[in-house]
Copies of this chain bind each other. A is one copy, B any other.
Amino acid sequence: MSYISLSDRDKKEMLERIGVSSLEDLFRSVPDQVKLKRKLDLPPALTEPELLAWMGEMAGRNAYGGFLSFLGGGAYRHIIPVAVDHLSSRGEFVTPYTPYQPEISQGTLQVIFEFQTLVCQLAGMDVANASLYDGATASAEAVLMSNRLNNRTKILVARSLHPHYRRAIQTYTRNLGLELVEVGFTESGRLDAAGLKAKLDDRTAAVVCQSPNYFGVVEDFETIFGLAHGHQALSVAVVAEALSLGILEAPGRQGADIVAGEAQSFGLPLGFGGPYLGFMACAQGSVRQLPGRLAGLTSDLEGQRGFVLTLSTREQHIRREKATSNICTNQAWCALRATIFLETLGHDGLREMACQNIQKAHYALEQLTAVPGVKARFSGRPFNEFVLERPRKWAEADAALRKQNILAGVALEHDYPELKGCILVNVTEMHRREDIDRLAGALREALR
């Protein structure tokens, strides 16, 4: 099936009109030297039922459903209302390009406009863009943007920032003459304010800090950003668990100059890590340095309200090498899903969901630390994740849990050698009390 729509007669007549005698003739400009003289070495074509059978087999080779998972670490399992799937799967949302022709793209444009508004409301900022690739690249873009805004080159990055985001920041900045300096964490799991103070200076472009941080601990943004502003450095708040914004104070009200992060929690499935939803918001005054697309309000010939892409002089298709970012295709459809998700939950639903995460995380923390030998690693307050210190017998325990199809959490040693033996446990509104109790019970059993 190559999904072509021409009948045999069509092909014949069209070749005639063009004035060539075969399809081959159309490729005369491709030199023989670079022509492929054989068939591609790929499996023979599958029909639709065969394809679905094969894909079903692949999908079946992953752990889901039957597994009880407490994995988080930047990818969260949350409720997705049925309306999100139903509405986002409409062909009119799935199959258009970027809305370059606003007169026939009002749907997409108004959705982006609403998305921008929702992000601003949650982040407490003036302006938000139409999306970036994901949390890691949004963090990296925030760093680049800080540098553009104040021309400083030293970036202080919290060690408690998602390790993949840190790695991406490294990768992105390596070639641009920026200096990255890490700021550690204390026994509370929060950013080491003293260390921050020591490293802050007038070359500091930005302080990058995540809350809830990678350990699930809620940071004291106000203090941290206060320190940054003392040196006219910019405050970059990263939010990897966007749901927290439903209940925690908006970073914008705690002094953030740029808020960047990951909004996968808003209606996107785990999907083995993508597509997710990077977002970024900033103050009005910085909008010309903001990367990514923006939808704005305008009116038509007849004075009717309408929406268009705007301020595109920031973008690559106009400014080429002088653009604020090279991003072109973004994650628009993911932003659509987030918009449907947020409008379906509404103010009260979002708050309730966020509250349930806090309550359940606490319940889980209590139940799990009641297991002899298991301790909380940090004293800071968790949103929906926390780090447990594992007793020595853990390795066997882990195997025992695995046999019961339980994934207790993400092991931290690889990214944090200093946290050898620790795991990051995520609990959301999707975990029923009995799930948590099951984990605690299995752990108790395994560690006996």
Contact of A79 among B49, B79, B91 (CB under 8 A): B49
A85 to chain B, nearest CB (A): 10
Q: What mask results when residues 77 to 100 of chain A are scored 1 for a CB within 8 Å of chain B, else 0?
A: 001011000100111000000000
Asked if A48 is at the interface (CB within 8 A of a chain B CB), the reply is yes
Contact of A81 among B48, B81, B89 (CB under 8 A): B48
Please give the number of chain A residues whose Cβ is less than 8 angstroms from any Cβ of chain B in the complex. Answer: 10
Residues A48 and B90 in contact, CB atoms below 8 Å apart: no
Q: What mask results when residues 206 to 225 of chain A are scored 1 for a CB within 8 Å of chain B, else 0?
A: 00000000000000000000
A81 CA to B52 CA, complexed, in Å: 11
Least CB separation from A429: chain B residue: B49
Interface residues of A (CB under 8 A from B): 48-49, 52, 79, 81-82, 86, 89-91
A435 CA to B86 CA, complexed, in Å: 35
A44 CA to B440 CA, complexed, in Å: 30
Task: Chain B residues near A86: list those with CB within 8 A.
Answer: 89, 91
A195 to chain B, nearest CB (A): 43
A90 CA to B89 CA, complexed, in Å: 9
Task: Chain B residues near A81: list those with CB within 8 A.
Answer: 48
8 A-B residue pairs with Cβ-Cβ distance under 8 Å, sorted by A, are A48-B79, A48-B81, A48-B82, A49-B79, A52-B82, A86-B89, A86-B91, A90-B90
Task: Chain B residues near A90: list those with CB within 8 A.
Answer: 90
A353 to chain B, nearest CB (A): 11
A91 CA to B52 CA, complexed, in Å: 25
Least CB separation from A89: chain B residue: B86
A401 to chain B, nearest CB (A): 24
What would 6 more interface pairs be, CB under 8 Å, given A49-B79, A86-B91?
A48-B79, A48-B81, A48-B82, A52-B82, A86-B89, A90-B90
Task: Chain B residues near A48: list those with CB within 8 A.
Answer: 79, 81-82
Task: Chain B residues near A52: list those with CB within 8 A.
Answer: 82
Least CB separation from A92: chain B residue: B90
A91 CA to B89 CA, complexed, in Å: 11
A45 to chain B, nearest CB (A): 16
Task: Chain B residues near A89: list those with CB within 8 A.
Answer: 86
A228 CA to B340 CA, complexed, in Å: 62
